[in-house]
Amino acid sequence: MFFRNLTLFRFPTSLDLSELDTHLADVQLKPVGPMDLSSRGFVSPFGRDAEALSHRIDDAIWLTVGGEDKLLPAAVVNDLLGKKLADIEEKEGRKLGGRARKRLKEDLVAELLPRAFVRPTRTDAMLDLEHGLCIVDTSSRKNAETVVSEIRHALGSFPALPLNAEVAPRSVLTGWIAGERLPDGLSLGDECELKDAAEHGAIVKCQHQELQGDEIAKHLEAGKQVTRLALTLDDHVSFVLGEDLVIRKLKFLDGAVDQLESTEREDIRAELDARFALMAGELKRLFAVLEPALKLSRAEN
């Protein structure tokens, strides 16, 4: 259950979440209705058959937003619409106008929806109460906002804002490649993205590359700036940090995972519990390193 991508939001550490489980129970995922395209709500982090809608270890809370989406491809609807329009034109010798075409399409969708396949989804999130962080396991801002909206709907109020830096992240990332000292524990990986400062300028993506070699140095001399950078925290986690402050390609390395393999557990829930505890600790440690380096802003209490 390790998260793979992190989109972060800040909320006041003074926020009272003591009644969280009670609120979540009111907004559990309901099956998507016959005439609905989608449904969203909270499910248990341990699977839809489990009862607990949240799981807490110390100051970290694990939440999961579940979804059901009807699969109704536009190509299928448009193909059927074309056939019906052609049939009407052949039988009645007339073409339907715009409004009639729209009504016919709506009728088709209404006819197809109850028979459409349903795709289940889940998006995990962690609330770090110590730092006032909502960490969503996605690189999509839209998906992350959906999770925050569901939490807000459950609580009635959830003043969470996207993570923001008081300095330009690309200037910090560029400085690290250019030779400035990295925060203690951080080291460069082998991947980066550089962009020309000019609008619509050149973009260079490097993988499996020595980032402090001559080739990268030439791009920096030409005025390009780093917009994504691969980093490693000790030998525990590797990741790619973007100027949008989204963390991608998060991977837990042997230095962290070895702690799990040293202990045997009786069931899958105990294993998930141990993994969440490990992940929560590593993400808190990572944020504690990045916060001062990027001058990340705090939410007002």
Least confident of 130-134, 147-151, 209-213, 240-244: 209-213
What are the strands, taking DSSP E only, across 80-151?
Answer: 117-128, 133-136
Q: For the residues 81-101, what does the mean pLDDT come to? A: 81
Q: How many domains does the chain have?
A: 3
pLDDT classification of 10: cutoffs 50, 70, 90: very high
Q: What is the reported pTM?
A: 0.87
Query: How far apart (Å, rounded) are the C-alpha atoms in residues 7 and 291?
Result: 14
Specify whether 197 is located in the same domain as 106.
no
For residue 121, give its domain range.
7-72+115-162
Q: Is residue 301's pLDDT more than 80?
A: no
Among 103, 138, 162, the domain boundary falls at 162
Sign of CA dihedral 105, 108, 110, 116: negative
Specify whether 151 is located in the same domain as 227.
no
Specify whether 120 is located in the same domain as 218.
no
Q: Residues 6 or more apart from 294 whose CB is under 8 A from it?
A: 165, 167, 169, 172, 245
pLDDT classification of 185: cutoffs 50, 70, 90: very high
CB of 2 closer than 8 Å to CB of 135: no
Which amino acid makes up residue 58? D
Q: Residues 6 or more apart from 144 whose CB is under 8 A from it?
A: 7, 9, 136, 138
Q: Burial level of 256, CB count in 10 A (0-12/13-18/19+)?
A: buried
Neighbours of 86 (CB within 10 A): 11
Specify whether 136 is located in the same domain as 57.
yes
Q: Burial level of 29, CB count in 10 A (0-12/13-18/19+)?
A: buried
